[in-house]
Amino acid sequence: MSSTAGASGGAGASGSGASGLLTEIDHVAIAVRDLDAAAAYYRATFGAEVAHREQIESDGVEEALIKVADSYVQLISPTRPDSPVAKFLEAKGEGLHHVGYRVADCAAALDAVRAAGGRLIDETPRPGSRGTTVAFVHPKGALGTLIELVQE
Ligand code: CO
């Protein structure tokens, strides 16, 4: 194959749905007060089971992941009062918190956001849950949406 399928070139587009640097929706994150109650809601309402649960100490959150096709619903609740998610819940209540986009190379995607004048929360990629590498882009400058770049 000599033709380049994606604009990024050499990023190894595994699926045909890749759009530029974004290869897939990794997860949609929903901030909740009670993780067990939220998981129970998804189970009772949609028959959806939690596939993975993990505490991310650096972020002060616990997550419960519900797998939907190749993506996840990520239920997150704070593990301590000074967690950013605790502050989010206090200010806005439960609801949509951020969108995680899968990328082939988190550092390269972060550089692209920086080069485009975007505002970053993480200046460099850092460890996320499930052994991923992640970086957050500030909602101011990103159409009001907190964006997480996720490299598996
Ligand atoms: Co996330």
CATH number at residue 104: 3.10.180.10
The residue count of the chain comes to 152
- Which contiguous run of DSSP H or E holds residue 73? strand 71-78
Taking the C-alpha atoms of residue 144 and residue 133, their distance in angstroms, rounded to an integer, is: 23
Q: Domain residues for 91? A: 22-151
CA of 47 to the centre of ligand 1 (A): 22
CA of 46 to the centre of ligand 1 (A): 21
Taking the C-alpha atoms of residue 31 and residue 51, their distance in angstroms, rounded to an integer, is: 18
Task: Please name the residue that has the structure tokens 């460099």.
Answer: 124
CA of 4 to the centre of ligand 1 (A): 30
Structural domain includes residue 5: no
Structural domain includes residue 13: no
Asked whether the predicted pLDDT for residue 12 surpasses 60, the reply is: no
Helix locations, 16-136, DSSP H: 35-46, 84-92, 106-115
CB atoms within 10 A of CB 14: 11
Number of domains in the chain: 1
CA of 128 to the centre of ligand 1 (A): 8
3-state SS assignment for residue 35: helix
pTM: 0.86
CA of 16 to the centre of ligand 1 (A): 23
CA of 80 to the centre of ligand 1 (A): 17
pLDDT, tens only, 52-95: 999 998 889 999 999 999 999 999 999 999 999 999 999 999 99
